Structure 1
Amino acid sequence: MMPWQALPLPACSLAESPRYAHGGWAWVDINQRVLYRLNQHDIFKPKPQNLHTLQLPDEMGCVLPTAKADTWVALGRQGGWLIEGDTCTHQLNAPFDSGKHRFNDGRADTVGRIWISTLVDARSPATAALYCIESGKAELKIADLIVGNGLAFSPKGDSVFLSDTRHKCIWRFDYTVETGELSNQQLIKQYSEGTARPDGACFSADGSYWVAILEGYRLDRFSERGEFIESVELPLAKPTMPCFGGEQGNVLLVCSAQADEKFPNAPGFENISLVACETGFKALHENFADATHLA
Protein backbone atom coordinates (compact mmCIF):
# COMPACT_ATOMS: atom_id res chain seq x y z
CA MET A 1 0.00 0.00 0.00
CA MET A 2 1.21 3.49 -0.81
CA PRO A 3 0.92 6.29 1.78
CA TRP A 4 -2.55 7.68 2.37
CA GLN A 5 -3.18 11.10 0.88
CA ALA A 6 -5.61 13.67 2.24
CA LEU A 7 -7.88 14.71 -0.60
CA PRO A 8 -8.59 18.41 -1.27
CA LEU A 9 -12.35 17.92 -1.28
CA PRO A 10 -15.16 19.49 0.79
CA ALA A 11 -15.31 18.38 4.42
CA CYS A 12 -18.36 16.26 5.20
CA SER A 13 -20.33 15.63 8.36
CA LEU A 14 -20.90 11.99 7.36
CA ALA A 15 -19.28 10.96 4.07
CA GLU A 16 -20.65 7.64 2.84
CA SER A 17 -21.48 5.40 -0.11
CA PRO A 18 -18.43 6.06 -2.32
CA ARG A 19 -18.76 4.69 -5.86
CA TYR A 20 -16.61 4.61 -8.97
CA ALA A 21 -18.55 4.30 -12.23
CA HIS A 22 -18.54 5.74 -15.74
CA GLY A 23 -15.04 7.15 -15.28
CA GLY A 24 -15.83 9.20 -12.19
CA TRP A 25 -16.41 9.11 -8.44
CA ALA A 26 -19.47 9.79 -6.30
CA TRP A 27 -20.26 9.91 -2.58
CA VAL A 28 -22.84 11.45 -0.26
CA ASP A 29 -22.83 13.52 2.90
CA ILE A 30 -25.81 11.92 4.61
CA ASN A 31 -26.27 14.56 7.30
CA GLN A 32 -25.96 17.53 4.96
CA ARG A 33 -28.03 15.82 2.24
CA VAL A 34 -25.49 16.42 -0.53
CA LEU A 35 -24.46 14.19 -3.43
CA TYR A 36 -20.94 14.80 -4.73
CA ARG A 37 -19.99 13.68 -8.24
CA LEU A 38 -16.41 14.07 -9.46
CA ASN A 39 -16.41 13.57 -13.21
CA GLN A 40 -12.79 12.50 -13.65
CA HIS A 41 -10.64 9.42 -13.04
CA ASP A 42 -8.03 11.15 -10.87
CA ILE A 43 -9.27 11.50 -7.28
CA PHE A 44 -5.94 12.95 -6.10
CA LYS A 45 -6.13 16.17 -8.15
CA PRO A 46 -9.80 17.09 -8.39
CA LYS A 47 -10.55 19.93 -10.78
CA PRO A 48 -13.19 22.32 -9.41
CA GLN A 49 -15.03 22.37 -12.72
CA ASN A 50 -15.42 18.57 -12.53
CA LEU A 51 -16.88 18.50 -9.01
CA HIS A 52 -20.66 18.66 -9.09
CA THR A 53 -22.80 18.98 -5.96
CA LEU A 54 -26.51 18.30 -5.68
CA GLN A 55 -28.69 19.14 -2.71
CA LEU A 56 -30.84 16.10 -1.98
CA PRO A 57 -34.48 16.01 -0.80
CA ASP A 58 -33.89 13.19 1.69
CA GLU A 59 -31.25 11.71 3.99
CA MET A 60 -29.74 9.41 1.39
CA GLY A 61 -27.72 6.66 3.00
CA CYS A 62 -26.85 5.00 -0.28
CA VAL A 63 -26.43 5.90 -3.95
CA LEU A 64 -26.07 3.32 -6.71
CA PRO A 65 -24.98 3.85 -10.32
CA THR A 66 -27.08 2.67 -13.24
CA ALA A 67 -26.11 1.90 -16.82
CA LYS A 68 -26.72 5.58 -17.65
CA ALA A 69 -23.94 7.88 -16.47
CA ASP A 70 -26.29 10.68 -15.37
CA THR A 71 -28.81 8.41 -13.64
CA TRP A 72 -28.49 7.14 -10.06
CA VAL A 73 -30.65 5.24 -7.62
CA ALA A 74 -30.71 6.80 -4.16
CA LEU A 75 -32.17 5.30 -1.00
CA GLY A 76 -33.02 7.27 2.11
CA ARG A 77 -35.48 7.85 4.91
CA GLN A 78 -38.48 8.33 2.63
CA GLY A 79 -37.70 5.33 0.41
CA GLY A 80 -36.26 5.03 -3.08
CA TRP A 81 -35.42 7.90 -5.42
CA LEU A 82 -34.31 8.27 -9.02
CA ILE A 83 -31.69 10.94 -9.73
CA GLU A 84 -31.52 12.01 -13.38
CA GLY A 85 -29.03 14.81 -13.81
CA ASP A 86 -30.10 17.32 -11.15
CA THR A 87 -33.67 16.03 -10.85
CA CYS A 88 -34.70 13.79 -7.94
CA THR A 89 -37.95 11.86 -8.25
CA HIS A 90 -39.49 9.81 -5.45
CA GLN A 91 -40.23 6.31 -6.77
CA LEU A 92 -40.67 3.87 -3.89
CA ASN A 93 -42.29 4.35 -0.49
CA ALA A 94 -40.25 3.25 2.50
CA PRO A 95 -41.24 -0.24 3.71
CA PHE A 96 -40.66 0.86 7.32
CA ASP A 97 -41.59 3.58 9.81
CA SER A 98 -39.62 6.58 8.50
CA GLY A 99 -39.89 8.27 11.86
CA LYS A 100 -37.67 5.57 13.35
CA HIS A 101 -35.67 4.09 10.45
CA ARG A 102 -33.94 4.93 7.19
CA PHE A 103 -32.27 3.06 4.35
CA ASN A 104 -28.54 2.88 5.06
CA ASP A 105 -26.25 0.70 2.94
CA GLY A 106 -26.75 -1.28 -0.25
CA ARG A 107 -25.61 -2.70 -3.56
CA ALA A 108 -27.02 -4.00 -6.80
CA ASP A 109 -26.52 -7.66 -7.61
CA THR A 110 -25.23 -8.85 -10.99
CA VAL A 111 -28.69 -8.68 -12.58
CA GLY A 112 -29.58 -5.25 -11.18
CA ARG A 113 -31.74 -6.10 -8.17
CA ILE A 114 -31.37 -3.49 -5.44
CA TRP A 115 -30.28 -4.81 -2.04
CA ILE A 116 -30.48 -2.32 0.82
CA SER A 117 -30.28 -2.47 4.61
CA THR A 118 -31.83 -0.12 7.13
CA LEU A 119 -30.89 1.30 10.51
CA VAL A 120 -32.79 2.12 13.69
CA ASP A 121 -32.35 5.76 14.70
CA ALA A 122 -32.52 5.00 18.43
CA ARG A 123 -30.23 1.94 18.00
CA SER A 124 -32.85 -0.15 19.80
CA PRO A 125 -34.82 -2.38 19.43
CA ALA A 126 -33.46 -4.51 16.57
CA THR A 127 -36.16 -3.64 14.03
CA ALA A 128 -33.90 -2.84 11.06
CA ALA A 129 -33.63 -5.27 8.16
CA LEU A 130 -32.12 -6.17 4.81
CA TYR A 131 -34.45 -5.78 1.83
CA CYS A 132 -34.33 -6.73 -1.84
CA ILE A 133 -36.12 -4.29 -4.14
CA GLU A 134 -37.47 -5.86 -7.30
CA SER A 135 -40.42 -4.97 -9.55
CA GLY A 136 -41.53 -2.12 -7.31
CA LYS A 137 -41.61 -4.18 -4.12
CA ALA A 138 -39.23 -4.28 -1.16
CA GLU A 139 -39.03 -7.85 0.14
CA LEU A 140 -37.68 -8.37 3.65
CA LYS A 141 -34.77 -10.83 3.52
CA ILE A 142 -32.98 -10.56 6.89
CA ALA A 143 -34.65 -9.20 10.05
CA ASP A 144 -33.45 -8.29 13.56
CA LEU A 145 -30.73 -5.83 12.51
CA ILE A 146 -29.92 -2.54 14.22
CA VAL A 147 -27.54 -0.84 11.77
CA GLY A 148 -27.36 -2.90 8.58
CA ASN A 149 -24.09 -2.25 6.76
CA GLY A 150 -21.15 -3.69 4.84
CA LEU A 151 -23.19 -5.23 2.01
CA ALA A 152 -21.02 -6.49 -0.85
CA PHE A 153 -21.23 -9.19 -3.50
CA SER A 154 -18.23 -11.37 -4.28
CA PRO A 155 -16.58 -11.20 -7.73
CA LYS A 156 -18.54 -14.22 -8.99
CA GLY A 157 -21.72 -12.91 -7.37
CA ASP A 158 -22.35 -16.19 -5.56
CA SER A 159 -21.69 -14.96 -2.03
CA VAL A 160 -22.68 -11.89 -0.03
CA PHE A 161 -21.21 -10.25 3.05
CA LEU A 162 -23.32 -8.19 5.47
CA SER A 163 -22.40 -6.44 8.70
CA ASP A 164 -24.31 -4.89 11.57
CA THR A 165 -22.45 -1.94 13.03
CA ARG A 166 -24.35 -2.03 16.32
CA HIS A 167 -24.21 -5.81 16.75
CA LYS A 168 -20.50 -5.45 15.81
CA CYS A 169 -20.47 -8.51 13.57
CA ILE A 170 -20.02 -9.63 9.96
CA TRP A 171 -21.87 -12.48 8.23
CA ARG A 172 -21.29 -14.33 5.00
CA PHE A 173 -24.08 -15.89 2.90
CA ASP A 174 -24.23 -18.04 -0.19
CA TYR A 175 -26.23 -16.31 -2.91
CA THR A 176 -28.24 -17.73 -5.80
CA VAL A 177 -28.56 -14.93 -8.32
CA GLU A 178 -31.16 -16.76 -10.42
CA THR A 179 -33.66 -16.70 -7.56
CA GLY A 180 -32.31 -13.87 -5.41
CA GLU A 181 -32.12 -16.15 -2.38
CA LEU A 182 -29.63 -16.06 0.50
CA SER A 183 -28.58 -19.25 2.30
CA ASN A 184 -25.96 -20.75 4.61
CA GLN A 185 -25.55 -17.74 6.92
CA GLN A 186 -22.18 -17.80 8.69
CA LEU A 187 -20.84 -15.47 11.38
CA ILE A 188 -17.28 -14.73 10.29
CA LYS A 189 -16.34 -12.02 12.80
CA GLN A 190 -17.64 -10.76 16.13
CA TYR A 191 -15.90 -7.59 17.31
CA SER A 192 -15.61 -7.23 21.07
CA GLU A 193 -12.75 -4.87 21.94
CA GLY A 194 -13.59 -1.24 22.67
CA THR A 195 -15.94 0.68 20.39
CA ALA A 196 -14.36 -0.36 17.07
CA ARG A 197 -17.05 -1.85 14.86
CA PRO A 198 -17.65 -2.76 11.20
CA ASP A 199 -19.18 -0.21 8.85
CA GLY A 200 -19.34 -0.09 5.04
CA ALA A 201 -17.34 -2.39 2.80
CA CYS A 202 -16.42 -3.48 -0.72
CA PHE A 203 -14.80 -6.34 -2.59
CA SER A 204 -11.70 -6.01 -4.75
CA ALA A 205 -11.33 -8.08 -7.92
CA ASP A 206 -9.14 -10.71 -6.22
CA GLY A 207 -11.98 -11.63 -3.84
CA SER A 208 -10.84 -9.65 -0.80
CA TYR A 209 -13.55 -8.12 1.37
CA TRP A 210 -12.49 -4.72 2.75
CA VAL A 211 -14.50 -3.35 5.66
CA ALA A 212 -14.15 0.04 7.35
CA ILE A 213 -13.77 -0.20 11.13
CA LEU A 214 -15.55 2.78 12.65
CA GLU A 215 -13.61 4.29 15.58
CA GLY A 216 -10.90 1.75 14.76
CA TYR A 217 -8.55 3.77 12.50
CA ARG A 218 -8.35 0.90 10.02
CA LEU A 219 -9.74 -1.34 7.33
CA ASP A 220 -9.95 -5.08 7.94
CA ARG A 221 -9.48 -7.43 4.98
CA PHE A 222 -11.05 -10.89 4.74
CA SER A 223 -10.94 -13.62 2.12
CA GLU A 224 -14.00 -14.51 0.08
CA ARG A 225 -14.46 -17.48 2.43
CA GLY A 226 -14.49 -15.17 5.43
CA GLU A 227 -10.97 -15.73 6.74
CA PHE A 228 -9.25 -12.70 8.30
CA ILE A 229 -6.18 -11.63 6.31
CA GLU A 230 -4.91 -8.31 7.65
CA SER A 231 -5.66 -4.88 9.07
CA VAL A 232 -4.66 -1.73 7.16
CA GLU A 233 -4.09 1.37 9.27
CA LEU A 234 -5.80 4.64 8.38
CA PRO A 235 -5.24 8.26 9.41
CA LEU A 236 -9.01 8.56 9.88
CA ALA A 237 -10.65 7.69 13.20
CA LYS A 238 -14.09 6.93 11.83
CA PRO A 239 -13.85 5.37 8.38
CA THR A 240 -17.27 4.55 6.96
CA MET A 241 -16.71 2.83 3.61
CA PRO A 242 -13.95 2.02 1.09
CA CYS A 243 -14.17 1.96 -2.70
CA PHE A 244 -11.70 0.91 -5.41
CA GLY A 245 -11.54 2.76 -8.71
CA GLY A 246 -9.53 5.08 -10.91
CA GLU A 247 -8.36 4.72 -14.50
CA GLN A 248 -6.20 1.69 -13.63
CA GLY A 249 -8.60 0.42 -10.96
CA ASN A 250 -5.89 0.44 -8.29
CA VAL A 251 -6.92 3.48 -6.23
CA LEU A 252 -8.55 2.87 -2.86
CA LEU A 253 -10.79 5.70 -1.61
CA VAL A 254 -12.04 5.76 1.98
CA CYS A 255 -14.82 8.00 3.31
CA SER A 256 -15.29 8.88 6.97
CA ALA A 257 -17.54 10.40 9.57
CA GLN A 258 -16.44 13.61 11.27
CA ALA A 259 -13.72 13.14 13.88
CA ASP A 260 -14.05 14.51 17.42
CA GLU A 261 -12.01 15.02 20.58
CA LYS A 262 -12.40 11.42 21.70
CA PHE A 263 -11.55 10.02 18.27
CA PRO A 264 -9.37 12.56 16.44
CA ASN A 265 -7.87 11.98 13.03
CA ALA A 266 -4.11 11.68 12.69
CA PRO A 267 -2.04 14.91 12.50
CA GLY A 268 -2.33 16.47 9.07
CA PHE A 269 -5.75 14.90 8.52
CA GLU A 270 -7.72 16.86 11.15
CA ASN A 271 -10.57 18.10 8.93
CA ILE A 272 -10.31 15.51 6.19
CA SER A 273 -13.31 13.41 5.15
CA LEU A 274 -11.78 11.42 2.30
CA VAL A 275 -8.37 9.81 1.83
CA ALA A 276 -6.98 7.65 -0.96
CA CYS A 277 -3.91 5.69 -1.92
CA GLU A 278 -2.60 3.59 -4.78
CA THR A 279 -2.56 -0.16 -4.14
CA GLY A 280 -1.58 -3.45 -5.72
CA PHE A 281 -5.26 -4.44 -5.89
CA LYS A 282 -7.82 -3.89 -8.64
CA ALA A 283 -11.38 -2.63 -8.52
CA LEU A 284 -14.30 -4.97 -8.92
CA HIS A 285 -16.69 -3.45 -11.44
CA GLU A 286 -19.66 -1.87 -9.68
CA ASN A 287 -22.90 -3.67 -10.52
CA PHE A 288 -25.43 -1.33 -12.08
CA ALA A 289 -28.79 -0.98 -10.38
CA ASP A 290 -31.83 -1.50 -12.58
CA ALA A 291 -33.82 1.65 -11.83
CA THR A 292 -37.03 0.10 -13.16
CA HIS A 293 -37.16 -2.02 -9.99
CA LEU A 294 -38.13 1.09 -8.03
CA ALA A 295 -41.47 1.44 -9.80
Structure 2
Amino acid sequence: MTEVFDDRPCELGEGAFWHPERRQFFWFDILGRKLLSRTTEGPVSWDMGEHASAAGWIDRDGLIVASETGLYRFDIPTGERTRLAALEEDRPQNRSNDGRADPMGGFWIGTMGKEAEPEAGAIYRFHGGKVHRLFDGISIPNAICFTPDGRRAYYADTARRKIWTVALDAAGWPSGSPQIFVDLREEGLNPDGAVIDAQGALWNAQWGAGRVARYLPDGRLDRTIDIPARNASCPCFGGTAFNRLYVTSAREGLTDPKPDDGRTFILDPGVKGCTEPRVTL
Protein backbone atom coordinates (compact mmCIF):
# COMPACT_ATOMS: atom_id res chain seq x y z
CA MET A 1 0.00 0.00 0.00
CA THR A 2 1.35 3.41 -1.03
CA GLU A 3 0.17 6.60 0.66
CA VAL A 4 0.99 10.28 0.33
CA PHE A 5 3.19 11.26 3.28
CA ASP A 6 3.44 14.93 2.34
CA ASP A 7 1.52 16.68 -0.43
CA ARG A 8 3.86 19.66 -0.89
CA PRO A 9 5.07 19.34 -4.51
CA CYS A 10 8.87 19.40 -4.82
CA GLU A 11 10.49 20.54 -8.02
CA LEU A 12 13.31 18.13 -7.19
CA GLY A 13 12.65 16.05 -4.07
CA GLU A 14 15.81 14.27 -2.91
CA GLY A 15 17.91 13.25 0.09
CA ALA A 16 15.33 11.09 1.89
CA PHE A 17 16.64 10.64 5.44
CA TRP A 18 15.24 9.23 8.71
CA HIS A 19 16.77 10.56 11.93
CA PRO A 20 16.78 7.55 14.28
CA GLU A 21 17.00 9.50 17.57
CA ARG A 22 14.33 12.04 16.68
CA ARG A 23 12.25 9.47 14.79
CA GLN A 24 11.72 12.15 12.19
CA PHE A 25 11.87 12.12 8.40
CA PHE A 26 13.71 14.84 6.47
CA TRP A 27 14.11 15.49 2.75
CA PHE A 28 15.12 18.27 0.36
CA ASP A 29 13.70 20.15 -2.56
CA ILE A 30 17.02 20.85 -4.26
CA LEU A 31 15.72 23.33 -6.82
CA GLY A 32 13.36 24.87 -4.27
CA ARG A 33 16.40 25.31 -1.99
CA LYS A 34 14.57 23.92 1.02
CA LEU A 35 14.97 21.30 3.73
CA LEU A 36 11.60 19.78 4.59
CA SER A 37 10.16 17.67 7.39
CA ARG A 38 6.99 16.92 9.32
CA THR A 39 6.32 16.81 13.05
CA THR A 40 3.21 15.96 15.04
CA GLU A 41 2.28 19.63 14.63
CA GLY A 42 2.41 19.48 10.84
CA PRO A 43 4.76 20.37 7.97
CA VAL A 44 7.95 22.37 8.54
CA SER A 45 10.62 23.70 6.21
CA TRP A 46 13.85 25.67 6.25
CA ASP A 47 15.08 27.97 3.47
CA MET A 48 18.65 26.86 2.72
CA GLY A 49 19.51 29.85 0.53
CA GLU A 50 21.24 27.61 -2.03
CA HIS A 51 20.95 24.15 -3.55
CA ALA A 52 21.11 21.59 -0.72
CA SER A 53 20.60 17.92 -1.31
CA ALA A 54 21.59 15.35 1.34
CA ALA A 55 21.94 14.91 5.10
CA GLY A 56 23.18 12.64 7.84
CA TRP A 57 22.82 12.86 11.61
CA ILE A 58 25.51 14.02 14.02
CA ASP A 59 23.46 14.04 17.23
CA ARG A 60 19.84 14.53 18.24
CA ASP A 61 19.69 18.18 17.17
CA GLY A 62 22.46 18.28 14.58
CA LEU A 63 22.62 17.25 10.94
CA ILE A 64 25.42 17.29 8.41
CA VAL A 65 23.97 18.90 5.28
CA ALA A 66 25.55 18.95 1.83
CA SER A 67 25.02 21.98 -0.39
CA GLU A 68 26.53 23.50 -3.49
CA THR A 69 29.17 25.36 -1.43
CA GLY A 70 30.11 22.90 1.29
CA LEU A 71 29.25 20.55 4.11
CA TYR A 72 27.54 22.20 7.06
CA ARG A 73 26.47 21.37 10.58
CA PHE A 74 22.78 22.24 10.69
CA ASP A 75 21.08 22.88 14.04
CA ILE A 76 17.49 21.66 13.76
CA PRO A 77 15.94 23.76 16.57
CA THR A 78 17.45 27.08 15.41
CA GLY A 79 18.12 26.50 11.70
CA GLU A 80 21.67 27.81 12.10
CA ARG A 81 24.43 26.49 9.82
CA THR A 82 28.15 26.17 10.54
CA ARG A 83 30.46 25.19 7.70
CA LEU A 84 32.50 22.07 8.29
CA ALA A 85 34.29 21.86 4.93
CA ALA A 86 34.23 23.40 1.49
CA LEU A 87 32.99 21.36 -1.46
CA GLU A 88 34.38 22.02 -4.94
CA GLU A 89 35.13 25.69 -4.40
CA ASP A 90 36.94 25.57 -7.75
CA ARG A 91 33.77 24.38 -9.52
CA PRO A 92 31.06 27.04 -8.96
CA GLN A 93 29.07 25.60 -11.86
CA ASN A 94 28.47 22.42 -9.80
CA ARG A 95 26.15 21.52 -6.93
CA SER A 96 25.78 18.61 -4.54
CA ASN A 97 23.40 15.75 -5.29
CA ASP A 98 22.92 12.33 -3.68
CA GLY A 99 24.68 11.43 -0.43
CA ARG A 100 24.55 9.16 2.61
CA ALA A 101 26.46 8.31 5.79
CA ASP A 102 28.59 5.18 5.79
CA PRO A 103 28.68 2.71 8.70
CA MET A 104 32.24 3.73 9.59
CA GLY A 105 31.23 7.30 10.47
CA GLY A 106 32.02 8.95 7.15
CA PHE A 107 29.69 10.82 4.81
CA TRP A 108 29.69 10.29 1.02
CA ILE A 109 28.42 13.02 -1.28
CA GLY A 110 28.17 13.30 -5.05
CA THR A 111 28.42 16.47 -7.12
CA MET A 112 27.20 17.31 -10.61
CA GLY A 113 26.92 20.20 -13.02
CA LYS A 114 23.92 22.44 -12.43
CA GLU A 115 22.94 21.75 -16.04
CA ALA A 116 23.94 18.06 -15.78
CA GLU A 117 27.01 18.63 -17.92
CA PRO A 118 28.61 15.30 -18.91
CA GLU A 119 31.23 13.97 -16.47
CA ALA A 120 31.35 17.25 -14.53
CA GLY A 121 30.78 15.65 -11.13
CA ALA A 122 32.51 13.41 -8.63
CA ILE A 123 31.93 11.41 -5.45
CA TYR A 124 33.64 12.40 -2.21
CA ARG A 125 33.96 11.08 1.32
CA PHE A 126 34.01 13.43 4.31
CA HIS A 127 36.01 11.82 7.10
CA GLY A 128 38.33 13.11 9.80
CA GLY A 129 37.27 16.68 9.07
CA LYS A 130 38.43 16.54 5.45
CA VAL A 131 36.83 15.95 2.06
CA HIS A 132 38.50 13.23 -0.02
CA ARG A 133 37.72 12.66 -3.72
CA LEU A 134 36.94 9.00 -4.47
CA PHE A 135 35.59 8.86 -8.04
CA ASP A 136 35.65 11.47 -10.79
CA GLY A 137 34.06 11.93 -14.22
CA ILE A 138 30.47 11.31 -13.10
CA SER A 139 27.55 13.09 -14.71
CA ILE A 140 24.67 12.50 -12.25
CA PRO A 141 25.82 10.70 -9.07
CA ASN A 142 23.12 8.75 -7.29
CA ALA A 143 22.32 5.54 -5.37
CA ILE A 144 25.02 6.05 -2.73
CA CYS A 145 24.41 3.39 -0.06
CA PHE A 146 26.22 0.75 1.97
CA THR A 147 25.83 -2.83 3.14
CA PRO A 148 24.97 -3.15 6.85
CA ASP A 149 28.51 -4.30 7.72
CA GLY A 150 30.05 -1.31 5.94
CA ARG A 151 32.31 -3.40 3.74
CA ARG A 152 30.67 -2.59 0.40
CA ALA A 153 29.40 0.61 -1.19
CA TYR A 154 27.12 1.27 -4.15
CA TYR A 155 26.72 4.29 -6.40
CA ALA A 156 25.20 5.10 -9.78
CA ASP A 157 25.63 7.48 -12.66
CA THR A 158 22.06 8.09 -13.78
CA ALA A 159 23.22 9.35 -17.15
CA ARG A 160 25.03 6.05 -17.82
CA ARG A 161 22.14 3.97 -16.45
CA LYS A 162 24.47 1.83 -14.34
CA ILE A 163 24.90 1.05 -10.64
CA TRP A 164 28.39 0.09 -9.45
CA THR A 165 29.60 -1.60 -6.29
CA VAL A 166 33.01 -1.38 -4.65
CA ALA A 167 34.59 -3.21 -1.70
CA LEU A 168 35.58 -1.13 1.33
CA ASP A 169 38.31 -1.71 3.88
CA ALA A 170 37.78 -1.76 7.65
CA ALA A 171 38.01 2.06 7.79
CA GLY A 172 35.45 2.56 5.03
CA TRP A 173 37.77 3.41 2.11
CA PRO A 174 37.48 1.78 -1.34
CA SER A 175 39.83 -1.20 -1.48
CA GLY A 176 39.41 -2.26 -5.10
CA SER A 177 38.04 -1.24 -8.46
CA PRO A 178 34.30 -0.61 -8.86
CA GLN A 179 32.34 -3.37 -10.59
CA ILE A 180 28.99 -3.09 -12.36
CA PHE A 181 26.19 -4.23 -10.05
CA VAL A 182 23.19 -3.51 -12.29
CA ASP A 183 23.21 -2.34 -15.91
CA LEU A 184 19.86 -0.78 -16.86
CA ARG A 185 20.70 0.41 -20.38
CA GLU A 186 18.73 -2.28 -22.20
CA GLU A 187 15.65 -1.58 -20.09
CA GLY A 188 16.00 2.17 -20.58
CA LEU A 189 15.74 2.77 -16.82
CA ASN A 190 17.35 5.63 -14.93
CA PRO A 191 18.76 4.71 -11.50
CA ASP A 192 18.29 7.45 -8.92
CA GLY A 193 18.64 7.28 -5.12
CA ALA A 194 18.98 3.96 -3.30
CA VAL A 195 19.09 2.38 0.15
CA ILE A 196 20.03 -1.06 1.48
CA ASP A 197 17.62 -3.13 3.58
CA ALA A 198 18.47 -5.38 6.55
CA GLN A 199 18.81 -8.38 4.21
CA GLY A 200 21.44 -6.62 2.10
CA ALA A 201 19.19 -5.96 -0.90
CA LEU A 202 19.27 -2.60 -2.71
CA TRP A 203 16.12 -0.51 -3.21
CA ASN A 204 16.51 1.87 -6.15
CA ALA A 205 14.20 4.73 -7.10
CA GLN A 206 13.94 4.85 -10.89
CA TRP A 207 13.48 8.27 -12.46
CA GLY A 208 10.83 8.36 -15.16
CA ALA A 209 9.49 4.89 -14.30
CA GLY A 210 7.41 5.81 -11.25
CA ARG A 211 8.73 2.95 -9.13
CA VAL A 212 11.29 1.62 -6.70
CA ALA A 213 12.97 -1.69 -7.53
CA ARG A 214 14.58 -4.18 -5.13
CA TYR A 215 17.78 -5.91 -6.30
CA LEU A 216 19.22 -8.86 -4.39
CA PRO A 217 22.91 -8.84 -3.40
CA ASP A 218 23.77 -10.75 -6.59
CA GLY A 219 22.09 -8.07 -8.74
CA ARG A 220 18.92 -10.00 -9.59
CA LEU A 221 15.67 -8.01 -9.68
CA ASP A 222 13.44 -9.21 -6.84
CA ARG A 223 10.37 -6.94 -6.97
CA THR A 224 9.12 -3.48 -7.88
CA ILE A 225 6.63 -1.16 -6.18
CA ASP A 226 4.93 1.62 -8.11
CA ILE A 227 4.37 5.12 -6.78
CA PRO A 228 1.87 7.57 -8.34
CA ALA A 229 4.58 10.05 -9.38
CA ARG A 230 6.58 9.54 -12.54
CA ASN A 231 9.95 10.75 -11.26
CA ALA A 232 10.76 8.62 -8.22
CA SER A 233 13.98 10.05 -6.81
CA CYS A 234 15.14 8.74 -3.41
CA PRO A 235 14.04 6.10 -0.87
CA CYS A 236 14.88 5.55 2.79
CA PHE A 237 13.66 3.27 5.55
CA GLY A 238 12.02 4.73 8.64
CA GLY A 239 9.32 4.32 11.20
CA THR A 240 9.69 2.95 14.72
CA ALA A 241 10.42 -0.57 13.36
CA PHE A 242 12.21 0.62 10.19
CA ASN A 243 9.56 -1.22 8.17
CA ARG A 244 8.28 1.75 6.16
CA LEU A 245 9.84 3.07 2.97
CA TYR A 246 9.72 6.80 2.30
CA VAL A 247 10.13 7.88 -1.33
CA THR A 248 10.62 11.39 -2.68
CA SER A 249 9.71 12.47 -6.20
CA ALA A 250 10.16 15.41 -8.56
CA ARG A 251 8.30 17.59 -11.04
CA GLU A 252 11.50 18.61 -12.82
CA GLY A 253 11.41 17.96 -16.57
CA LEU A 254 7.67 17.27 -16.73
CA THR A 255 5.75 19.44 -19.17
CA ASP A 256 2.39 18.28 -17.80
CA PRO A 257 2.91 17.43 -14.11
CA LYS A 258 0.05 15.66 -12.36
CA PRO A 259 -1.02 16.42 -8.77
CA ASP A 260 1.07 13.56 -7.32
CA ASP A 261 4.26 14.51 -9.14
CA GLY A 262 6.73 15.96 -6.66
CA ARG A 263 4.93 14.64 -3.58
CA THR A 264 6.56 12.42 -0.97
CA PHE A 265 5.20 8.93 -0.35
CA ILE A 266 5.29 6.20 2.27
CA LEU A 267 4.83 2.52 1.47
CA ASP A 268 5.08 -0.96 2.94
CA PRO A 269 8.13 -2.69 1.41
CA GLY A 270 7.62 -6.05 3.16
CA VAL A 271 11.13 -5.98 4.71
CA LYS A 272 12.93 -3.92 7.33
CA GLY A 273 15.71 -1.46 6.85
CA CYS A 274 18.70 -0.49 8.99
CA THR A 275 19.35 2.43 11.30
CA GLU A 276 21.09 5.28 9.51
CA PRO A 277 24.66 5.50 10.88
CA ARG A 278 25.85 8.52 12.82
CA VAL A 279 28.39 10.81 11.12
CA THR A 280 31.52 11.22 13.24
CA LEU A 281 33.07 14.66 13.19
Question: Would you call these one fold, judging by a TM-score over 0.5?
Answer: yes
1:1-295 correspondence to structure 2 within 5 Å = 3-21=1-19, 22=21, 23-39=23-39, 47=40, 49-66=41-58, 68-85=59-76, 86-178=79-171, 180-192=173-185, 196-258=189-251, 264-265=257-258, 270-271=260-261, 273-290=263-280, 292=281
Letter in 2 for 1:79: G
Q: Report the CA distance between 1:96 and its aligned residue.
A: 4.8
The alpha-carbon distance between structure 1 residues 234 and 79, as it changes in their structure 2 partners (threshold 3 A), is same
1:111 alignment partner AA: M
Deviations 1:249-280 (A, max 9, x none): 21111100116655755xxx535511112232
Which residue identity lines up with residue 55 of structure 2 in the other structure? V
Change (3 A) 1:50 1:136: same
8 Å Cα contact 1:201-1:209 kept in structure 2: yes
SS at match of 1:181: coil
User: Whole-Å Cα distance in 1 between the matches of residues 92 and 164 of structure 2?
Assistant: 28
Q: Structure 1 residues 108 and 7, CA, compared in 2 at 3 Å: closer, same or farther? A: closer
Query: 4+ residue runs of structure 1 moved beyond 6 angstroms?
Result: none
Shift of 1:245: 0.8
**What is the percent sequence identity of the aligned residues?**
23
CA spacing shift, 1:90–1:234, aligned 2, 3 Å: same
Q: 1:250–1:179: structure 2 CA closer, same or farther, 3 Å change rule?
A: closer
Q: Could you tell me whether the CA contact under 8 Å between 1:188 and 1:227 is conserved in 2?
A: no
Distance in 2 between residues matched to 1:37 and 1:166, nearest whole Å: 29
Q: In the alignment, residue 271 of structure 2 is paired with which amino acid?
A: F
> Once the 2 structures are TM-superposed, how far is the Cα of residue 119 of structure 1 from its aligned partner?
1.1
Structure 1 stretch displaced more, 176-185 or 242-251: 176-185
Output the CA distance in 1 between the equivalents of 2:260 and 2:107.
35
State the TM-score, normalized to the length of structure 2.
0.90
Q: Does the CA contact (< 8 Å) of 1:215 and 1:263 recur in 2?
A: no
Shift of 1:193: 5.0
Letter in 2 for 1:69: R
- Deviation, structure 1 residue 157: 1.2
Q: Unpaired runs of 5+ in structure 1?
A: 40-46
Relative to structure 1, is the Cα distance of residues 181 and 194 closer, same or farther in structure 2, using a 3 angstrom cutoff? closer
Q: 1:65 deviation in Å?
A: 1.5
| Alignment correspondent of 1:44 | none
CA drift of 1:51 comes to 3.3
Secondary structure at 1:91 match in 2: strand
CA contact (8 A) 1:77 1:98 kept: no
Contact in 1 for aligned 2:9/2:260 (Cα 8 Å): no
Q: What's the secondary structure of 1:166's corresponding residue?
A: helix
2:142 is aligned with what amino acid? Answer: N
Partner SS state of residue 18, structure 1: strand
**Secondary structure at 2:178's aligned position in 1?**
strand
Tell me how large the CA RMSD over aligned residues is: 2.1
Instruction: Indicate how the Cα distance of structure 1 residues 205 and 27 shifts in structure 2: closer, same or farther if over 3 A, else same.
Output: same
CA contact (8 A) 1:110 1:177 kept: no
Residue 70 of structure 1 deviates from its aligned partner by 1.2
Worse-matched range after superposition: 149-158 or 221-230: 221-230
1:279 counterpart SS class: coil
Count of aligned pairs: 277
What is the distance in 1 between the residues matched to 2:208 and 2:67? 24
* SS of residue paired to 2:168: strand
